[in-house]
Amino acid sequence: MKRVIISGVAVEIPQASITNDELVESFNLWVDAENPRRAEQGLEPLAKSDAAFIEYASGVKNRHVIEREGILDPTRMSPRIPVRPDDVISVEAEFGVASAKKALDHAGLRPGDIDLVICAASHHQRPYPAIAIEMQHALGTKGAGFDMGLGCSSAAAGLHVAAALVRAGAHRRVLVVTPEIITGHLNFRDRQTHFIFGDASTTMVVEALEEGETRAGRFEVLDTRSWTQFSNNIRTNLGYLSRNAQEDPYMIDMDGNMIRQVGNKVFKEVTVAGHRFIVDFLGEHGLRPDDIRRFWLHQANARMNAMILKLSFGREIGHDRAPMVLERLGNTAAAGAIVALSENHADMKAGDFGLLCAFGAGYSIGGALLKMM
């Protein structure tokens, strides 16, 4: 069995951004236009959204998005992403390639050094050809590519698979690419979820160490873990069969087919499961939370992370130990924990342990125990 390292990690964040105030203003304009129509039909009026609630309940102040104007237009409330011809790189592959190129630079590698691309994301733009194969083609990497998804745990699950393949010798160097264009699937007319997500792309380079080799400043992947348990509390029903339930299968009706979640149930259930996962996974390695220099947790909710850490440590834990990026980026689905990792490891010393832990739809949790070389 080979030893495995993360030799490169990088992030691509879109330039455009939206504050809570801007998002709430467009939502409330839509509610003002919608409520008279609802009154005519004898329906209950819709409640308005509130920027102070959003910041208090989630910790999100701002999010970066692939396209801003369409989201903020109260007559549209969805990003405007034009269809591209088949001979032009698709939007998701382009986003992934941007972070992949930076990660290759970070690792000091060329595309030809890579023999597998995994596109591990919560949404894929299409079923086939796989987005990973399009990225393989655009980058010029060798070998193979495939797509995989596990909600917000996708990148951690991708690392789980990549590390196992590299450890076993099946592949030499793998890119785990997580291009999350989650605003494309978000219902900006749903008060419960319209504020949660933002777009980001991340890439990790996973490779084998040669016998006796060390790579200062890089992480050894000591172990990875995945855990799942079925829940409907975060769900999307959008899929290729969606159209077949419709009267006219040639019109796309998105009603009921966008992301929905019972946020407060997810909060409670995943907080407990996340805490147990962390304590048990570390325990298997004879470690306790206090032995870990840094936690890169899923970036869905600041209060939730604080609670998971408090349960695990038995006391409050600050952001130096467990950095947060969601305040400025929102929940970037599976990319979030990798953004936290990418931005918060340069100060770590040789021998320091770090724990990556992402959680989300499924339910699913993915973790990786890392050690700075």
Quote helix, strand, coil % in the chain, to nearest 5. Answer: 35, 25, 40
- Using CB under 6 A as the binding rule, whether residue 234 contacts ligand COA is answered as yes
Give the pair of three-digit tokens for residue 361. 């739809």
State the nearest-atom distance from the C-beta of 333 to ligand COA, in Å.
6
Give the pair of three-digit tokens for residue 146. 């495939």
Side-chain half-sphere of 110: how many Cα atoms within 13 Å?
Answer: 2
> CB of 206 within 8 A of CB of 166?
yes
Judged by CB under 6 A, the residue of 7, 26, 28, 58 near ligand COA is: 58
- Using CB under 6 A as the binding rule, whether residue 123 contacts ligand COA is answered as no
Q: Which residue is nearest to ligand COA (CB)?
A: 263
State the nearest-atom distance from the C-beta of 319 to ligand COA, in Å.
18
Judged by CB under 6 A, the residue of 16, 29, 57, 222 near ligand COA is: 57
Spatial distance between the Cα atoms of 138 and 50, rounded to a whole number of angstroms? 42
Nearest to 285 by CA among 359, 206, 342, 369: 369
Strand order in the sheet with 116-120: 144-148, 116-120, 173-180, 200-209, 3-12, 219-228, 364-372, 353-360, 292-297
Site pattern 327..356 for ligand COA (x: CB under 6 A):
----x-------------------------
> CB of 123 within 8 A of CB of 271?
no
71 vs 138 by CB, closer to ligand COA: 71
Judged by CB under 6 A, the residue of 22, 50, 94, 223 near ligand COA is: 50
Instruction: Give the contacts of 357 (CB within 8 A, at least 6 positions apart).
Output: 156, 274, 277, 278, 295, 296, 297, 298, 337, 365, 366, 367
Judged by CB under 6 A, the residue of 121, 162, 165, 266 near ligand COA is: 266
State the nearest-atom distance from the C-beta of 270 to ligand COA, in Å.
6
Residues noted as catalytic: 152
State the nearest-atom distance from the C-beta of 218 to ligand COA, in Å.
29
State the nearest-atom distance from the C-beta of 306 to ligand COA, in Å.
12
DSSP string, 124-173: -S-SSS-HHHHHHHHHT--SEEEEE-BTBTHHHHHHHHHHHHHHHTS-SE
- Using CB under 6 A as the binding rule, whether residue 300 contacts ligand COA is answered as yes
Task: Single out the segment in contact with ligand COA by CB under 6 A; choices: 188-196, 203-211, 218-226, 280-288.
Answer: 188-196
- Using CB under 6 A as the binding rule, whether residue 152 contacts ligand COA is answered as yes
State the nearest-atom distance from the C-beta of 281 to ligand COA, in Å.
19
Spatial distance between the Cα atoms of 336 and 151, rounded to a whole number of angstroms? 12
54 vs 324 by CB, closer to ligand COA: 54
Instruction: Give the contacts of 292 (CB within 8 A, at least 6 positions apart).
Output: 282, 321, 353, 354, 355
- Using CB under 6 A as the binding rule, whether residue 14 contacts ligand COA is answered as no
The residues in 192-211 that bind ligand COA, with binding defined as CB under 6 A, are 192, 195
- Using CB under 6 A as the binding rule, whether residue 182 contacts ligand COA is answered as no
Point out which residues bind ligand COA (CB under 6 A): 49-50, 53-54, 57-58, 152, 191-192, 195, 234, 261, 263-264, 266-267, 270, 300-301, 304, 331, 360
